[in-house]
Amino acid sequence: MRRYIGYREFVQRDQRSLVGTALLLTGSHDQAIRLALRSFHTVAQTWPPPLWENPTTHAQIALYRRFLQRPGSAGSTALVRLPPRQRLLVVACLHDGRTRAEMAGLLGVPEKTVEEEISDAVKTLTKGDESRLVTRMANAAGEASVPDLTERSMRTLRRRRTRGVLLGAAAVLVPVGLIAGFALVQQGEVLNSALGERSGPRSPQAAPAQEPAAAVSTPGPAVTPAPGATSGPGTASGPGATPKPWQAPRTSAVIRYAMPERCPDGGGDTPPRAGEVSCAGWTLKLVSDGRGGSAECEGRDRCESTLSLPDAAQRLAHGDDRELPRLAPAISPDGHRVAYLSAAERRYVAHDLESGVKRYLSPVLAPEDTEDGTLVSVSSDGRRFTVTLGDRRLQTDFTTGALTSVPAGQVPATEKAADWLREKYGTWKDSPSGKYAAAVTPDKGGRESLHVVDAGSRRVFKRLSLPEVERPARAEVVGWPGTREVVVKMSAASGGGLLGYFRMDAVTGRARPVGGLPGGDPIVLGAATAL
């Protein structure tokens, strides 16, 4: 019964309020208890509830639907004498706090109809005094005699589980028996045929005419893909095929950086719908010390390799001409974990390359989840991944798999100041703590410098000079490999050729070059120790 952890506490907490609502609808304690138990059972069928579902709301709505299927009225109060739908609207909106729009959607009627029926009921019951009716219903529901329903609910779950096991066994054994019986019949037919036995005389007309054998072409040599070959980014090997979920290989190597693969040119006959991945594919650059790795890395102090991640989304379609930032994976500071939006599963996932563990970080996304953009980030210790879906933030503890919703008051300072940062700097990178942001901007003399901004106060914490290079250059911040360091990419002002990457101390401005990082498209930094 591990699946139902927390269900007993849920029933204990909500049984009084649910029975009170059912009593207002039916007027009978016995009917109210039966209605509440059925509603609890409906919730149990999908237990544990997903993070984005409130089990109390689920139980109430299940109760409303069951009441409308078989409305009962055993009392003599004026409320019980109302028609079932009108009675439900009064109780749901004035006692349970459901909105008119919510009940209109649930019942499939215009919101105006809901408002009119509630107004008519209030006039009938309390001559238009809505607050008086609310008080009456609260008192009546509070007088409900509610026994402890937890044991009855748990007994029903146990019976259902036993019945499910028996039905599952039957579902397996019956097909097996049919297959075995069919095989025996076929075997009997083969033996009879071999012995020349027939069930009766066979007429010459019954024998089918023998047709000449069709010409058989000799097949050419089979074509097999070359070892290690992979399909293009975001595409599959056949027409109409979809990308498959990525299976992470177990390796002790760490991710140094990730770079986007080339997206196919647009111009297809059918543009992707809003919320669909229009381009996918990233390449991971791995670094190993030669211990416990592949054969070609054995004995080498430093061995680099690449790993294709074709399932990681780059671009989302939005149904209009808006160009939103490229979706990027999040890599833990130790380089062992990577998280991204899966093009195949349409949800965020995270992999630990060292252990092979996979975690889901979000539900399957709907178009409205990504309408204003979406991203994934990782904490400085690599343990917590946070997915942003519009106004929602979902945080997953990778170690335990626990997923929680981040309250609005705990949003990092850089996210609260995102609009201001975008207006002032255009692009920036936030620190692992979410307290600081780093951006490159020209000073009054036109010379670029690195600004380290305290996002909470929106003040520039440090103005740092960029490293000296041999040609006029423009710079951009690539990321924070640690809590105090920023990596800056320097490119030629004319032509855009790469002049180098530099790690800069965010306090002192001390810089040192970083080799082996590619130019071109922006990259996502991985393990700081591998830079």
53-106 per-position pLDDT tens digit: 788 999 999 999 999 988 877 767 889 889 999 999 999 999 999 999 999 988
Tokens 């800069």 found at: 504
pTM score, whole prediction = 0.55
Query: HSE-up of 129 (CA within 13 Å, CB side)?
Result: 7
What average pLDDT score do residues 504-529 get?
Answer: 86
Rounded to whole angstroms, how far apart are CA atoms 488 and 291? 31
The SS3 of residue 307 is strand
**At 330, which helix (H) or strand (E)?**
strand 330-331
Task: State the pLDDT at residue 194.
Answer: 37
Task: State the pLDDT at residue 46.
Answer: 81
Task: State the pLDDT at residue 457.
Answer: 92
CA nearest 14: which of 143, 136, 150?
Answer: 150
Rounded to whole angstroms, how far apart are CA atoms 450 and 33? 67
Listed in sequence order, the residues at least 6 apart from 521 whose beta carbon sits closer than 8 Å to its beta carbon are 259, 260
Rounded to whole angstroms, how far apart are CA atoms 69 and 510? 73
Task: State the pLDDT at residue 258.
Answer: 93
Tokens 């996002």 found at: 455
Say how many residues make up the chain. 531
What average pLDDT score do residues 241-263 get?
Answer: 86
The SS3 of residue 61 is helix
CA nearest 59: which of 88, 9, 18?
Answer: 18
Token pair of 240 as six digits: 């109409």
Rounded to whole angstroms, how far apart are CA atoms 462 and 504? 12
Residue 374 CB neighbour total at 10 angstroms: 20
CA dihedral sign, ordered 488, 492, 495, 498: negative
Q: Cβ(277)–Cβ(242) under 8 Å?
A: no
Rounded to whole angstroms, how far apart are CA atoms 284 and 251? 13
For 166, counting Cβ atoms within 10 Å of its Cβ (0-12 exposed, 13-18 middle, 19+ buried), the class is: exposed
Residue-wise pLDDT for 257-314, tens only, equals: 999 988 776 544 455 666 788 889 999 999 886 555 555 566 666 788 899 999 999 9
CA nearest 31: which of 77, 78, 81, 66?
Answer: 66
What average pLDDT score do residues 168-175 get?
Answer: 70
Residue 432 has pLDDT above 80, yes or no: yes
438-463 burial, b at 16+ Cβ within 10 Å, e below that, comes to bbbbeeeeeebbbbbbbbeeeeebbe
Among 115-129, 210-224, 382-396, the range of highest mean pLDDT = 115-129
Mean of all residue pLDDT scores within the chain: 80
Residue-wise pLDDT for 36-61, tens only, equals: 999 998 888 888 877 667 889 999 99
For 244, counting Cβ atoms within 10 Å of its Cβ (0-12 exposed, 13-18 middle, 19+ buried), the class is: middle
